[in-house]
Amino acid sequence: MKKTLFALVLILNISVCLAQEETTATAELAPSITAESLGLSSPRDTLTTFLHSMNDIKRGKAARIDSATSTLDLSAINPLIREEKGRDLAWMLLEAIDKTKIVNLSKIPSKKTGKPYVFAQYRNGIISIQLSSNGRWLFTQASLSSLPAIIEELASKKSLKIDEQNAQFIPWHIQLRQQLPESLRSRSFLLENWKWLGILLTIALGVIADKVASFILQLVVKKFRNKTQTPAFKDTPEDMLRPLAMLVMAGIWWAGLNLLALPDQAMIILLVAVKMLAGIAGVWGAYRLVDLVTLYLRYQASQTDNKVDDVLVPLIRKTLKVFVTVIGITFVASNLNLNVSSLLASLGLGGLAFALAAKDVVQNLFGSITVILDQTFHNGDWIVVNDIEGSVEEVGLRSTKIRTFYDSLITLPNAIFITAKVDNMGQRRYRRLKCNVSLTYDTPPDKIEAFCEGIRELVRLHPYMRKDYFHVYLNSLGASSLDVLVYVFWETPDWSTELRERQRFLLDILRLAKAQEIDMAFPTQTLHLLTPSDQQSATDVTASAPHKPSNDALSEQFRNTAKDIVSQSTGLDNKPPPVKF
């Protein structure tokens, strides 16, 4: 409720600002249509045009109201309420004329120039027709402003023109006011008492209608969610149609304010507020419709393997919302009588300056187009851009949001993707592991070879591992270990699956080593301490040792041993074929 009151206060403040900025009189351009063609070239023509137009309206030709109001000098009335106020004044003027005298048009002067023509004088005012600056004879501003007091003065009189249906055309607020007691017609503060009651009743009816309509629309949405066969619509929020209830409230307020015939300034402020409320509700409703369409598009995108549509759905949503916002602003501006055409023209004239100022915006837009067309990455991909690494969370028109692995959210302008190097880890077909399994130096060579073959078999048996390319070999003789190179790949859809499968594989290597009693090595150093007795024993052994063979004899001995080893492993003069998987 507090948010609603705050919104209403904000709308009223904006309305006051707009009402104060609106000029009370608009500059008239040279008329392109002559006063004769409009029937306003003399007092007789003006009165004839007015009476004939009002009679045509009574016969069902409602469009003739524009012709009737064209005989009134409405230049002093704010353009925001000029149309509503003009219709009201036209009926009040007709009521005053009908209760004053039977009009004989032949006796009305047909002069083209001269002093104003006075139709009638009353205690509370005067009805006259005056030549305006544009050459048209119009009912004067003074006559129109005194009409409410004149109608009050003539309230007890009957119409001199016999017309049984004439009463139904009298403005509603006039008919109601004539039936009210004097206490309600009196003015206690700014407005007459019955108008304050009317405003209170109008507001109450609008709020009640808003609550009732909101409740009914929620029931409609619940019923729709229960009956729909489209899974995407199952997640439709219950308040999806809430803006329609606000439109109902705005409609009731608009109708009530027009019926009350409030003073101009109050009418301007309140009508501007209601029109802005209707515009905001309309834009909000369009936003909800866009959200509903987005739910359906997101569901359809989730049913396909192509990830391009996953990127396009957020872009479509944002584009539609921007479009709706532009339409909403144009609608509100049009209802506030702002010159939308001149505004658009000024944007066209300032297009070059706007383009220069919005260079970054244009670059970001082209960056997003580049990402979509090149399919640089998709939602959920693990990417590395410059020094930023993380998962793509959303691709927008201006920026891309990346969720880092320490759970912060980084927003990158799309312009950098035009030139930046993007390492898309999410597009890898295979995920590699390269590591060394260190064995102790007392491990027999045959066991090392068997151990390598056991690891190869693990690669063949694990479901996610690449079977057509892997390497497991004794790769180096380290300072404190025999290092077996394990060079393998996984074909997994994401990082989480990769971590799980990597753990399974490494644990199976440990289980294999434990089952075959193979010890893993770790960096160690052996320290030998020699006592004086140990040194004497070593000297005695050296003195008693047989004669040391020559270098040539030792070399021959080692060559023969090597031939024996190779003949037992691969065979002499036998070249194994290349490795094939």
Is 470's pLDDT higher than 80?
yes
CATH class of the structural domain 431-516:
alpha beta
Long-range pairs of 236-243 with CB within 8 A, sequence gap ≥ 24: 236/292, 236/295, 239/214, 240/288, 240/291, 240/292, 241/217, 241/285, 241/288, 242/214, 242/217, 242/284, 242/288, 243/281, 243/282, 243/284, 243/285, 243/288
Q: 372-411 pLDDT, tens per residue?
A: 777 778 777 888 888 888 888 888 777 888 888 888 998 8
pLDDT at 484: 94
pLDDT at 335: 67
| High-pLDDT (> 70) share of the chain, % | 77
Give the C-alpha separation, 423 to 441, whole Å.
Answer: 41
Give residue limits of the domains in the chain: 43-156, 193-338, 377-424, 431-516
Is 19's pLDDT higher than 50?
no
228 or 511, greater pLDDT = 511
Going by C-alpha positions, the residue among 118, 120, 93, 113 that lies closest to residue 42 is 113
- Note the helical H segments in 358-465: 359-374, 445-461
What CATH code would you report for 377-424? 2.30.30.60
Q: What is the pTM of this model?
A: 0.50
What average pLDDT does this structure show over 251-266?
77
Domain 377-424 shares a fold with domain 431-516? no
What average pLDDT does this structure show over 305-316?
71
12 or 213, greater pLDDT = 213
pLDDT at 375: 74
521 or 36, greater pLDDT = 521
Is 4's pLDDT higher than 60?
no
Q: 106-128 pLDDT, tens per residue?
A: 888 888 888 898 888 888 888 99
224 or 536, greater pLDDT = 224
CB 136 within 8 A of CB 38: yes
